Amino acid sequence: MSNPLPYFLLMGYFFLIAALILKTFPFYKRSVERVALGMQYFPQIEGLRGILALSVFIVHSVSWYFMLQGQPFHLPTSGFYAQLATAPVTMFFFITGFLFWSKLQ
């Protein structure tokens, strides 16, 4: 599986579901606003962190698909999915470290 189209289709689907949830259940928006009032909050960085976590989920799904086909669990052979297995994890932990450090100060 080297076609990146499923990744972009799934991400679009996840964004659509998130937008529908925000429009349907306004308490999510109020909840985020309440959290942002009392402390330093970076909604854009939190959003990027969510995208990175979804990317890691999709890579694990691709690896799981190949494992079900009888292959060992390893990095995908596709360059696109292999990059999704390493770069988002690294960026996710960098951002998480930044967010935790800003809460400790």
pLDDT tens-digit series, residues 68-104: 888 887 777 788 888 888 898 899 889 888 888 877 7
Domain hosting 41: range is 5-104
pLDDT score, position 33: 65
The whole-number pLDDT of residue 16 equals: 92
- Please choose, from the candidates 53, 66, 68, the residue with its C-alpha nearest in 3D space to the C-alpha of residue 14: 53
- Report d(CA 32, CA 24) in Å as an integer: 15
Number of domains in the chain: 1
pLDDT digits 0-9 by tens, 13-53: 988 998 888 788 877 777 666 665 556 677 778 888 888 98
Q: pTM for the full model?
A: 0.72
